[in-house]
Structure formats: structure tokens, C-alpha cells
Structure 1
């Protein structure tokens, strides 16, 4: 699979989901989709067929408000039929605005920020205790890092030397009320996590090749968990959304939908050349 081209294909699905659902956290969807693309299509051992096997890799989207990105990837992997995407955020649909474990492929309900890392640590600890080979992945937002429970998890992950655990920060530097640095100073995440005993990798989080290498490095790291700081662009891929806090949660107009779709299709085509 051409992962770079696929990221733009998945962004088209995200745009379509949010536009027709008339709601969604599209800016963060666009920044995090490269991470999900690489995990599900290259790195993780998880499929619709093995999802209930105890040895499958676990994934938690702690920044659950970007569930549209997760829906797009899970649908592409065959966890549910494509027509289900038309029901996102519709009355009585199980495809709600945050991860819901009634949806095939989703491990846990999330979206109440600050919980995902602690649950992932529990899963990783259980894997060690049961002598299982699965790995656990969790994606957090940088705005989420203001939650104190994240740092309790950071301490525990380092303390238990959970080398079967890999956490990712979608570091797009914007949240609903402005820049992360304005709301709560974030620098330096690299130094903070290293202090808690994590192996830290800092990369361009919208570069699928850099992500792939980072996940390989995480797998090869023994004796400590890995934290990947994925430096991303909010709204990545659509020119008028990029680095705009207003696109944290916003529905495109018909004109914006057409423009965004045209840009993403052109970028997918260029990546396939």
C-alpha cells in the first residue's frame, strides 16, 4: 500500500463523514490520520478476523473527539460496511461522536480526556502478566496533557518498564480555546517524558515514513515504554483548515467541502505518481 496516498484518501473520507454528519472535530482528525494510517495498515497486528483473539494488538484513541479519523480507518480495514459511515451522529446510530465499543474494532469508550493512557497501561501490564506478545498503542492530544491523570500514567508506565506500550502525542499545538502554549505551557514534552523513564522519539507526525520508522524503533526498544511526539499540523491537507483553531470543531460549507475534496484528490493523485 502507498501509505502517503492512502492518508489523503482517508482524509477525503473524513471530510465526507463530517460534512454529512453535520458535526465533528475535523482539524484534529486531519492531523492524527497519518498516525492511524501507519498503525492499522503497517504496524499493528489487528484485523476484523483476529479482533477477539487475545493476542491481537490493542489501540486506544484517548483523544476520542477525533473519532471520525478512526471510523475512516476501521471502515477501510473492513471492520464494518462503508454504508455505516452515512449514519455517523444520526439518531440512534452507534457511530457517535466519540469511540464507542459497540462499534466493531473499538476497544473502549473514550473521549473523557486523560483516561486512555491509564487504561493502556493496564492492558500492557496484563499482557506482561499473561506472557502475551501483543503490543498496546494509545494516541493522546497535546491539549489532553493538562489532565493530571496523564502524568500518573506516565509515572506508572516508566515504573513498570512497559516496553510493550507505545504512546503517541498528536502535537498540533492547537486546541478549542487557542494554542496549547497559551492554555497550558507544553514545552518540553521530550524532557518531561524522558524524566519519567520513557524512550522518547520526536518526529514529523504527518510524514508516514517517519512514523513507520518511529514505530519500528519503539518495537526494538526494551526495558521502557516509548513516547512518540508526533509534531503535526491541525487541519493538515486542506489549505484553509491548516493551523486554524476555528477548525477544531466545524462543519464545512458546500463550497468548502468541494474545495477541500478537490485539494485532497489532487494530493492523492500526486502521491500516486
Structure 2
């Protein structure tokens, strides 16, 4: 069974957008903490939690306890996506008589815990876990905690109790975003090290500063430390916790408050402040513009692909792109599912498998079994019947569904019925199977035509640009609508993979900022541009965005 990566990722994006809309309508709420736990909630709801929205009190269900109850918009948005109620009900957030209050309330079906006063959720969860044990149920308890609330002594009393009673059907997740009510946690009551200044970046990245895991270990807990915004890491940690017997588990998830909206990120101001309605369309565009980098390892040392995978991991790639060539559909031959199966244990990073082969319907199960998280086949070797079968196989195994088109191919008519089911479309910008080619410039125009078709057919996935993508043209590819970018020689062919991926991200960030400034201008002229710029107060963002606005003539 696959990671369900793309479905989780799409739901995380939808949930964030629902949070923005709901808090903006309410004029109050907590978007920052809702966003820091977004990937955590997405993985729990859409991969691990056993529940029935039509029967919220199903006695064999798992239970999700939101101890950091002020982040209720992040809970309610996922509940809506999971089918507990219609998403339109989020428009009633924090209104008198609404089931959706500023903290979770049992009036709302599916809510397991009234999260008002902080620091109580873990104690409640231990009671629920012990009750399930006494009743002989397989119920698992998931408890999402804030780092600020662990200043409470009751949390540590509960930690001792869970260890004493070996509550191994409990998984706690600490949303370690380094910010509480109105300041940084390390300035209020340090869990790691005291923060000097307001720059969280070094503390977030430097493992020598992380002390909170040691605290939990000293209380007898199984501790797993992860990047809380990497879906594959959250998923892997939850699996490991479920396999641990004789001790409770806690996942220390390093996160970024306000993740996904640049001006909210790492800014204590957005702990409990709602965005103004005039900014909502710009923020929604920003949330729709998150991007991924996928190095293609065949551009490296084909005799040592294991090392190329490790270089991708060290470089913090989002995916690893695996080009499978059969020597028939394309002139070259690379590897098949047996090699992918050998590589799979090396990392939990999603495998983005691109099948450049004939008769993919005959082989797709092999690539699912090998551990692919996304499988893309070519339109040129499919028809409606075979692609429908491929879609069914991939979807049933929680593997992302992709369709690729060559430079001289447009989307075939038969494919349009499948567009709403697609997670990914690869637009080849070089002729597949030939190395060292430059980006085909006519692809830009093709992408614009494609976007129109996809919009008309309710496409909700991601366009991946593949072939000849470099630092010189990635910004233009982003403007075209691509959100995933395959890099061969431009990434794997470089000595410093991590450094070059960082440069790629900088180029994308520049293009995204420019797009958002243009959106602000279109909505409200120079006045709204100035207001948008003024939101960005952390780090060097404001200066960078101001410079772009000047170049556009909007300042």
C-alpha cells in the first residue's frame, strides 16, 4: 500500500484554505498553529485514523485528541474534508450557536475532547487509552500537543503516568513550532536552548540544540524526531510508534508556525490573529503555489544509484524521480521495478516513478509493489480502457496517478474524462530518452493551452515540468503553471545537490513573490501592494519583496 502522498498533500492544501476562509470570516481565530500542524493532521486523518463520519460514535474507532485546542480551525477543516459535515459550515466558525467554536466542543460530532484549558489533553488521552485496553479494543489514541502548553506541570505528571502504565496504544505528537501565545517558546520557557535574537532558522535546523526529545526519553517515552512538514516522515513516524510495545510514543515534529503563507511563517503575531478579507485571494493563490523539487537520479552515476538516492536525501529533495526506460518506447534502457525495490529501503522520500515503457498496464502492479508513491505513464501508449485500469490499480493502492505527454503530443481526447482523477501531469520539455537536451521553448505556449483545458475539466493535481529545467528557466516554468520540477544534470549532475536545490527554491520563491504582488495590484492597486509588503516583517522577506514591487513599478 502506497503512502497516499498526493491525496494527503491535496487535502492539506484544501484544509489550509478552509482555515484562512473561516478565520477571516470570523474575524478571529488561530491560523498559525493550524498551519504548523497541517501535514500532521492530514496524515492522521487520511492515512492512519480509523473513523466513520456517518457513525461518529463507532465503538471501534480510533480517537484524535487536539490538546492545543485553540488550533480548532485546523481540526474542523480536516473533519469537513473527512465528511463529518459540509465545508460550508466552517463559515459559522466562532459564531453564537455554531458547533464550531474557538476550541473543540463535543457538540460537534467527531470531536473527542473539549480543548479549552491547555495542558489537559495528554491526561485525557491516557485515560482513553487505558479504557480501551480494559475494554479489549484495538483503539489507538492520537494526541496533538502544542509546545507552549508543555510549560504546564500536568503534562509532565501525565508523561510519568503513561510510562508507568506502559500505554503503548497512545501516540502523542508535539507540534514543535517554537512559538506560543505572544513570543518564542525559547524566550518564555526553553524546551531546547534559550533563543538569542528572533532568528529561529538555526535552532530549527541544528540538531545539537534539540533537547526536548531528551526530556521525554528521561520520562520513559519512545521518542521519534522528524520534520513535521514532510508527509512521508510523519507517516513513517506514526507507523514506528504503532509498532512500539511496552512504552508510550511521542513524535517531536519540528514545524513552522504559519507554514505555507510567507508573512505568517515564524511570526508570533499570527498565533491568534485572523487575516483580513482583502488578503484572502492572495493567500489562497500562495497556498496553491507550493512547489516540489524532484531530482532525476539517472543523470548521476548509473552504476551506483544507491549513492544518488542518498545524495537526494542529503539535498532535501521533495521527491526522487525514477525514469524507467525500456529501450522500446524510448531508445535507451535504464532499470525496472527490481531496482526500485532495492532502492526503496534507503529512504522514505516519495518515489516519483516515470514509466517510459510500452504496455504500462501490464507492468504497473510491479511498480506499485516495488514501493512507488507516484506512477506516471505516457498518453502515447495508453487508451481509455488501459488507462482506466491503471487508474483503478493505483488508486486502490494509494499511489498517485500520473499521465505524461511528449513534446509533440497534446492531451488526447480520451484522457479528458480522467483529468479529475489525475494527481500529476508530466509535460515533457525534451524528447525522452536523449540526454543533454535543452528546454524546448514552445513548451511555454503549450503549458498555457494545457492550463485552460485542465481548468475546464476540474484538475486538482500538479503539473510537473520534466526536461531541460535549469536555474535560468525554472521561474518561467513556474509562471507557466508547473509546481513540480524534475532536475537531471542541473541537480544530480552538480557536486553540491543540497546547495543547488536551495538555489532552485530561491528562484521559485522569487517567481511566486512576483506573482503574488501582481495579484495584489490587480485586486487593489498600489495601496494593496504596499499593505501586502508590510505584512512581511520576519527576516529579509520585506526587503526582497519590496525590490520586486519596485521593479514592477508598483512602489
TM-score normalised by length of structure 1: 0.96
- Runs (5+) with no aligned partner, structure 2: 193-210, 292-422, 425-460, 464-555
Per-residue Cα deviation, 1:16-59 (whole angstroms, up to 9, x for no partner): 11111111111101101111110010011112134312211011
Task: Identify the residue that residue 144 of structure 2 maps to in structure 1.
Answer: 139
Contact 1:50 1:56 in 2 (8 A): no
Q: Does 1:118 align with 2:119?
A: no
Contact 1:47 1:77 in 2 (8 A): no
Identify the match of residue 151 of structure 1 among 132, 156, 159: 156
Q: 220-229 or 81-90: which moved more?
A: 81-90
Distance in 2 between the 1:87 and 1:62 partners?
Answer: 22
Task: Identify the residue that residue 170 of structure 1 maps to in structure 2.
Answer: 175
Q: Give the number of equivalent residue pairs.
A: 273
Task: Identify the residue that residue 59 of structure 1 maps to in structure 2.
Answer: 64
Contact 2:11 2:81 in 1 (8 A): no
Distance in 2 between the 1:243 and 1:15 partners?
Answer: 17
Distance in 2 between the 1:88 and 1:8 partners?
Answer: 19
Contact 1:5 1:272 in 2 (8 A): no
RMSD across aligned C-alpha pairs, in angstroms? 1.5
Q: Does 1:180 align with 2:185?
A: yes
Distance in 2 between the 1:200 and 1:50 partners?
Answer: 33
Task: Identify the residue that residue 7 of structure 1 maps to in structure 2.
Answer: 12
Cα offset for 1:231?
0.4
Cα offset for 1:164?
0.3
Displaced runs of 4 or more, over 4 A: 268-271
Task: Identify the residue that residue 39 of structure 2 maps to in structure 1.
Answer: 34
Identify the match of residue 206 of structure 1 among 219, 229, 234: 229
Helix, strand or coil: the match of 2:239? helix
- Runs (5+) with no aligned partner, structure 1: none
Q: 38-47 or 4-13: which moved more?
A: 4-13
Task: Identify the residue that residue 86 of structure 1 maps to in structure 2.
Answer: 91
Distance in 1 between the 2:163 and 2:261 partners?
Answer: 38
Task: Identify the residue that residue 273 of structure 2 maps to in structure 1.
Answer: 250
Task: Identify the residue that residue 196 of structure 1 maps to in structure 2.
Answer: 219
Helix, strand or coil: the match of 2:145? strand
Distance in 1 between the 2:124 and 2:188 partners?
Answer: 26
Helix, strand or coil: the match of 1:98? coil
Identify the match of residue 215 of structure 1 among 225, 232, 238: 238
TM-score normalised by length of structure 2: 0.48
Distance in 2 between the 1:119 and 1:91 partners?
Answer: 27
Distance in 2 between the 1:92 and 1:29 partners?
Answer: 22
Contact 1:5 1:267 in 2 (8 A): no
Helix, strand or coil: the match of 2:290? helix
Cα offset for 1:218?
0.6
Cα offset for 1:91?
2.4
Per-residue Cα deviation, 1:178-234 (whole angstroms, up to 9, x for no partner): 110100010221111111111000000011111000000011111111000010000
Distance in 1 between the 2:89 and 2:182 partners?
Answer: 32
Task: Identify the residue that residue 130 of structure 1 maps to in structure 2.
Answer: 135
Helix, strand or coil: the match of 2:128? helix
Distance in 2 between the 1:120 and 1:222 partners?
Answer: 17
Q: Does 1:265 align with 2:455?
A: no
